[in-house]
Amino acid sequence: MRLLVSPMNIDEARSAMLGGADILDVKNPKEGSLGANFPWAIKQIADMARGIVPISATIGDLDYKPGTASLAALGAAFSGADYIKAGLLGIRTVEQAEDILSSIVKSVKEFDPKKKVVAAAYSDYKRVGSISPMVIPGVANKVGADLVMVDTAIKDGKSTFEFMSQADLEVFINLAHNFGEEVAIAGTIGFQHLQLLKGLQPDIIGVRGVVCGGDRQDSIKVELVEKLKELLN
């Protein structure tokens, strides 16, 4: 399992790298669960980490606006992100998911076919009226996205494991792997969840709050990234 850590800025990115993060996921928590950061922030971190650690960038908790989403995806790709992550918060149907993700994939892959598109759904989809994560692996396969993810939309201390059972997550992971997609699990993950995650074996585990000392608005701490990385290994 690879450890994805989500820095807000260059200083946090350095801390995540020093702690042993496998992927730096540039985001802006002030704008939501998968809030988009600025192009210059992505570029600065990508320039620093180039050749050392791959860069992911979130493009927001998206409404059904394929044009806006595809332009944001191109901006993240141009700024240096290797993974472009789209949160499907405002997506209600499979048809909408296919439309917006196909636009994002086209935008990214025409710019650089080596870059990867991440389709992110939400484990707490029922309380925010979003699309079920269970349909996302099939949609991703149809439109050519590379990786699927679950996260929590509302950051209120409740984890993904309070909304999706171990069996649910096993089904999600197996569906994606059967399509040849990688899987990331995130959503208020704590040290207490590591044994369960080791049993599930997603490809990537995504964190922020746990390596900030419990408050995702605080800063990333090298020693907590190191601790998490050591326990995962």
Query: Which positions are catalytic?
Result: 27, 85
User: Residues 140-143: contacts with CB within 8 Å, 24+ apart?
Assistant: 140/101, 140/176, 140/179, 140/181, 141/179, 141/180, 141/181, 142/98, 143/98, 143/101, 143/102, 143/105
Query: How far is it, in rounded angstroms, from Cα 193 to Cα 191?
Result: 5
Across the chain, the runs of DSSP E, i.e. the strands, are 2-5, 23-26, 55-61, 83-87, 116-122, 147-151, 182-185, 204-207
Q: Which residues pair with 85 in a beta bridge?
A: 58, 118
Q: Which residues are CB-neighbours of 174 under 8 A, at least 6 positions away?
A: none
